[in-house]
Amino acid sequence: MTHACVLEFSSNEGIIEVSENIKENLGIFEKNGVIRILISYANLSKCDFIKFESLNENINDIKYVKNLLENKLSLNYSTLTLGDYVHINNLKFYISELEPDNAVSLINTDITVDICERKNINENQIDFFSNDNKISNNNNPYEIINNTQVNINNTINGEFKKYKFIINYNILELLKKGNISINIYLKSENINNFHIFISFPPYDDVSETVHHIHVDDCTDQIKIDKDLIQKCLRYHFIYFQNDEKNENIQLSNTNDNKNNNLLCYDTNNLNQKSYQDYSEILEYLYDQFFPHIIFIGILSNSNIPLNYNLSSNVIENTLNLTKNKDIENQNIKINTNENIINNQNYIKCDNCLKDILDYNINMHKIHCIKNFSICNICKQPFKKNELINHIHCDICNEGMHINDKNKHNSIWHVKIKCLCEKYFYKKQFIFHQKLFCPKKLIFCPFCNIFTAHFTNIYDEDYIIANFFDKLDNKQINNISPNTNAHINSNFETKSIGYYVNLLHNNFNYFLKYIKNSEHEKYCGSKSISCIICKKNMYRNLYLNHLCSVHNLTKIESFKIINENIQLQ
């Protein structure tokens, strides 16, 4: 016997469809044939306490599993019955104790959860879970890789190949400290037909719609380091980000690493202590939730089988420091050279539109007119034999090689279906997925778990359009690493990397629109008792209460709230 709420049924006219969870708890399988079920009305009491027996290995290694259950139960279940099996985030539990009755309602209730490891499982249950594990293992789309230094040869035929890189503890600690980076390479004779998607926890999957990173140009290596991972994590910890009040927002240079600091806020409008405390909390959260798994998806847009080689290795950043110093020295030399020649006269070449020193203009024109021509649309100079293959998109007027036309159309001019069932072109999808999607995962500071945003922002299109009007097309520096050396400095290729960097460097622009999600409002309105003075208050006031009344820092207060630390 089990119980269910009307909300757990979906039906067309004349049909009642039962959820898979109800079928499981009733012991119904497809091979059973026709089954008769007696349905009767029951009035259930509200739940006070649940005791689960874990059917998972190493359940104690999962952080904040009680908080996860307390939050997810009320979101995914309306009723529970003693003896039921519960599935939460790929974890399985058996209900061994309920209060105040053997069947309870979870609607509008505050639940207390206890978890223990299960000791006695009968033979039928062992067979059931062993078969279930076999099915799940057979259906697992990931190739598990336990070594960060790999070399994989495979074939793909217009499908999505998935890999799950598990980072060992020693590598993870070095990656956290920023001492190393993991470099990923993809090689193929048809490399232009490939896309790479990468995601980190809290995502437990990677796909065209669920990812942190999308790389459409796979010719270069992908460098995964501490800075990149923190940039990806920041979208999940919105509550602790400080929004800028400065109305005169200027676009940051996407190539300037100095402006890519995730914890760099406009301190002119913030209290210095508050800024420091929030930065400490963010650093603490980034350390606690630093991903130990990398999900990698490889997609081919070709209809024929293609061979590829996927490899990765670990690089010490100390080696990169010498390279960075060399680059800095080169930049210093370039700057000094620029200062020297600033007083010299330049003449713009009529053929390539580049500024040439006046005493070199005649020699330059002889070479330039013979070898180069300029595109009349984008004003890019090309070698004469390459200009024939240069075209512009009929929709967005973007310049490209003729062989890249189909790839360009598939990326930018085909709508993507998001998890929230809405459709977007790629340019809007980049911003929607990371900022506005109601299915986006955020960290709740009150219940200490990752949960869906659950907020529909109805003026999303206006916000994004206004952002593009203010900040897009402002920068004229090249951002593509593979651009031709002869490209005019006034022309810019709008790639996926361009828009991602545009969002990274102007993230604070959107904070006022995406803060205070529906879940945070609901969760923050619950009551809690102060662990020090026993005063009752709302959860969303508890942090400030500990800071202002008990003179604790925000990081100390956060640990007390979310780790139940007892003060000495």
Helix (H) or strand (E) holding 522: helix 518-524
pLDDT in tens, 370-401: 888 888 888 888 888 888 888 888 888 888 88
pLDDT for 10 equals 57
Domain boundaries, the chain: 6-138, 142-320+415-518, 525-563
Helix (H) or strand (E) holding 423: strand 423-424
pLDDT for 233 equals 92
pLDDT along the chain (568 residues), means of 10: 68 65 71 68 80 74 70 75 79 82 79 72 50 49 83 89 90 91 92 92 90 91 92 90 52 40 36 56 87 92 89 78 58 58 75 83 86 85 87 86 87 91 92 92 85 86 90 50 37 76 90 86 86 89 89 84 55
pLDDT for 318 equals 64
pLDDT for 256 equals 43
Q: Which two tokens stand for residue 177?
A: 């400290």
pLDDT for 475 equals 44
- Residue 468 contacts residue 428 (beta carbons within 8 Å): no
pLDDT for 331 equals 61
Q: Which residues pair with 185 in a beta bridge?
A: 311
pLDDT for 110 equals 74
Global pTM value: 0.69
pLDDT for 7 equals 59
Helix (H) or strand (E) holding 430: helix 426-431
- Residue 471 contacts residue 509 (beta carbons within 8 Å): yes
Cα distances (angstroms) measured from residue 246 to each of 473, 502, 508: 20, 17, 10
**Same fold across 6-138 and 142-320+415-518:** no
**How many CA within 13 A on the CB side of residue 172?**
16
pLDDT for 253 equals 41
Distance CA 74, CA 53 (A): 18
Q: State the DSSP code for 216.
A: S
Would you say domain 142-320+415-518 falls under CATH 2.60.120.380?
yes
pLDDT for 480 equals 35
Q: Helix or strand or coil: residue 211? A: coil
Q: Are strands 390-392 and 372-374 parallel, antiparallel or unpaired?
A: unpaired
Distance CA 146, CA 47 (A): 42
The domain 6-138 is classified under which CATH number: 3.10.330.10, 1.10.357.10, 3.40.309.10, 3.40.50.1780? 3.10.330.10
pLDDT for 206 equals 92
Q: Which two tokens stand for residue 248?
A: 């005169």
What is the signed CA dihedral for 450, 451, 455, 457, rounded to 10 degrees? 50
Closest CA to 545 of 522, 528, 562, 526: 528
pLDDT for 316 equals 87
pLDDT for 330 equals 64
pLDDT in tens, 41-72: 778 888 888 888 877 766 666 666 777 777 77
For residue 42, the tally of other CB atoms under 10 A from its CB is 12
pLDDT for 329 equals 61
